[in-house]
């Protein structure tokens, strides 16, 4: 699908969008929050909102703003210092957006999240409800990672990925990643469109991180891949282009657009496939791989070769082929211990091995999301 088609069929018709702004796009050379940059973006968000599009903003820059507020010459290195600086800066960030938007009669709402808030199904649904209620009352949700509390495995560390989860959570039509780059380059050529994010696309990521933000091109491509696999569009564009948001939604040919998959994944499948934390791995044989990927079948114990990890019934597990490539993720009907006992067995042999056979399938098709 050519870029123009995505722009005309998805971007110009978008009703719900998620905009992610990177740190370097709203801070100045010295790393301080740049009120003019905030004002420019806020003005566009107000215009777009007034035209009937519902916007969720994921704003980085808490650490940058905190550095400015505290007069720090450089970014601290230790985690507690970074957390403290983010705590100082987050308020500044919100104030800047508040001051810029109150004049346009838009209220702002701060939502700070950690990885666990997405991985826990109940908290995930709570966030979705809160965002819906905020949009209903006409307030702009402004999201960021809860840097003051998130450490190590609790942490995404990257707002591109948070923005992708939030796009999928709300089934927003487009994820707009705004930073200080024009889009994805292949050598010197700015790509108009990327049809599909795969390993080759990810190798386009230079790895070079911008000086202040923590998300390089790799995380942007990963985020775009998460969104397009769920059936929504993504675009990477330069925040410094005047009226970039309005231009994108008018279908103008700027940035790099990503083509959504033909079929939209259901909300539950998005969560199973991309958001839930996996508690273990099931390695399956070639027959099971074909049944899952080509014939749309459930996973039966007969195709299971190995089980890794300790998990209970109902846990999210990754299904891998024998080379270690991930095929799918799903909710298991049996614990790791039970699967160990029934792996490789025919359906008719399960009851004898376990003393009971509550399910034919190890993972039912309805509880499974293919990974590619
Ligand atoms: N949460 C960080 C901040 O507000 C930014 C993370 C990122 O740049 O992706 O400073």
Specify the number of domains making up the chain.
Answer: 2
CA distances for 93 relative to 60, 143, 200, angstroms = 9, 11, 36
Residue of 61, 111, 143 to mutate, ligand 1, most atoms within 8 A of C-beta: 61
Higher local confidence (pLDDT), 207 or 337: 337
Q: What is the pLDDT of residues 50-63, one digit of tens each?
A: 999 999 999 999 99
Distance 145 CA to ligand 1 centre (A): 7
Are 260 and 299 part of one and the same domain?
no
**HEC readout, the chain:** CCHHHHHHHHHCCCCEEEEEECHHHHECCCCCECHHHHHHHHHHHHHHHHCCCEEEEEECCHHHHHHHHCCCCCCCCCHHHHHHHHHHHHHHHHHHHHHHHHCCCCEEEEEEECHHHHHCHHHHHHHHHHHHHHHHCCEEEEEEECCCCCCHHHCCCCHHHHHHHHHHHHCCCEEEEEECCCCCEECCEECCEECCCCHHHHCCCCCCCCCCCCCCHHHHHHHHHHHHHHCCEEEEEECCCCCHHHHHHCCCCCCEEECCCCCCCCHHHHHHHHHCCCCEEEEECHHHHHHHHCCCCCECHHHEEEEECCCCCCCEEEEECCCCCEEEEEECCCCHHHHHHHCCCCHHHHHHHHCCCCCCCCECHHHEEECC
Q: Whole-angstrom distance between the N-terminal and C-terminal Cα of the chain?
A: 19
Q: Which domain holds residue 100?
A: 3-265
Q: How confident is the model at residue 276, as a pLDDT?
A: 94
How many C-beta atoms surround the C-beta of residue 208 within 10 A? 9
Q: How confident is the model at residue 206, as a pLDDT?
A: 54
Q: Does residue 271 fall inside a structural domain?
A: no
Are 168 and 260 part of one and the same domain?
yes
Are 196 and 311 part of one and the same domain?
no
| Ligand 1-lining residues (CB < 6 angstroms) | 23, 60-64, 86, 144-145, 147, 158-159, 213-215
Distance 23 CA to ligand 1 centre (A): 7
Are 119 and 31 part of one and the same domain?
yes
Taking residues 269-282, report their average pLDDT. Answer: 95
Atom of ligand 1 nearest to the CA of 162: 9
Q: Does residue 164 fall inside a structural domain?
A: yes
CATH classification at residue 45: 3.40.1160.10
Q: Does residue 270 fall inside a structural domain?
A: no
Distance 177 CA to ligand 1 centre (A): 13
Residue nearest to atom 5 of ligand 1 (CA): 60
Q: Does residue 272 fall inside a structural domain?
A: no
Distance 43 CA to ligand 1 centre (A): 22
Atom of ligand 1 nearest to the CA of 158: 9
Are 34 and 70 part of one and the same domain?
yes
Given a cut of 60, is residue 177 above it in pLDDT? yes
Distance 174 CA to ligand 1 centre (A): 21
Q: What is the pLDDT of residues 100-114, one digit of tens each?
A: 999 999 999 999 999
Residue 339 · residue 303 · CB < 8 Å:
no
Are 243 and 354 part of one and the same domain?
no
Are 359 and 230 part of one and the same domain?
no
Atom of ligand 1 nearest to the CA of 145: 1
Q: Which of the listed residues 217, 234, 265 is the one where a domain comes to its end?
A: 265
Are 282 and 312 part of one and the same domain?
yes
Are 32 and 63 part of one and the same domain?
yes
Residue of 85, 144, 216 to mutate, ligand 1, most atoms within 8 A of C-beta: 144
Low-confidence winner among 37-41, 72-76, 244-248 (lowest mean pLDDT): 72-76
Distance 148 CA to ligand 1 centre (A): 11
Distance 113 CA to ligand 1 centre (A): 12
Q: How confident is the model at residue 86, as a pLDDT?
A: 94
Are 33 and 165 part of one and the same domain?
yes
Q: What is the pLDDT of residues 105-162, one digit of tens each?
A: 999 999 999 999 999 999 999 999 999 999 999 999 999 999 988 877 778 888 999 9
Are 119 and 211 part of one and the same domain?
yes
Q: Which of the listed residues 233, 265, 297 is the one where a domain comes to its end?
A: 265
Q: Does residue 97 fall inside a structural domain?
A: yes
Distance 86 CA to ligand 1 centre (A): 9
Closest to 149 measured CA to CA, from 80, 205, 244, 213:
80
Q: Does residue 354 fall inside a structural domain?
A: yes
CATH classification at residue 301: 2.30.130.10
Q: Which of the listed residues 265, 291, 321 is the one where a domain comes to its end?
A: 265
Are 254 and 158 part of one and the same domain?
yes
Q: What's the pTM value of the predicted model, to 2 decimals?
A: 0.91
């Amino acid at each position: 699908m050519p870029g123009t088609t995505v722009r005309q069929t998805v971007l110009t018709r978008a009703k719900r969008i998620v905009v992610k702004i990177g740190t370097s796009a709203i801070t100045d050379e010295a790393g301080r929050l740049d009120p003019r940059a905030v004002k420019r973006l806020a003005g566009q968000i107000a215009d777009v909102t007034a035209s009937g599009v519902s916007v969720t903003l994921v704003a980085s820059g808490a650490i940058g703003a905190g550095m400015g507020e505290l007069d720090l010459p450089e970014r601290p290195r230790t985690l507690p210092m970074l957390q403290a600086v983010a705590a100082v800066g987050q308020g500044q960030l919100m104030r800047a957006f508040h001051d810029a938007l109150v004049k346009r009669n838009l209220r702002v709402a701060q939502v700070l999240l950690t990885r666990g808030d997405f991985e826990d199904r109940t908290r995930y649904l709570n966030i979705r409800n809160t965002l819906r209620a905020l949009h209903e009352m006409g307030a702009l949700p402004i999201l960021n990672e809860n840097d003051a509390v998130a450490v190590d495995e609790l942490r995404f560390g990257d707002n591109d990925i948070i923005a992708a989860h939030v796009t999928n959570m709300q089934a927003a039509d487009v994820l707009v990643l705004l930073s200080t780059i024009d889009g994805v380059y292949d050598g010197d050529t700015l790509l108009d469109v990327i049809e599909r994010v795969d390993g080759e696309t990810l190798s386009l990521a230079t790895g070079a991180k911008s000086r202040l933000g923590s998300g390089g091109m790799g995380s942007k491509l990963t985020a775009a891949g998460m969104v397009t696999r769920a059936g929504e569009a993504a675009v990477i564009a330069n925040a410094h282009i005047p009226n970039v948001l309005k231009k994108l939604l008018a279908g103008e040919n700027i940035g790099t657009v990503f083509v959504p998959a033909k079929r939209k994944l259901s909300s539950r499948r998005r969560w199973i496939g991309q958001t839930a934390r996996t508690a273990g791995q099931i390695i399956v044989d070639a027959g099971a791989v074909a049944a899952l990927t080509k014939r749309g079948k459930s996973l039966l114990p007969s195709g299971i070769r190995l089980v890794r990890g300790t998990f209970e019934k109902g846990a999210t597990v990754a299904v891998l082929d024998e080379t270690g490539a991930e095929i799918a993720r799903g909710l298991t009907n049996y614990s790791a211990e039970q699967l160990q006992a029934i792996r490789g067995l025919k359906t008719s042999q399960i009851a004898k091995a376990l003393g009971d056979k509550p399910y034919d399938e190890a993972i039912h098709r309805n509880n499974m999301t293919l990974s590619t």
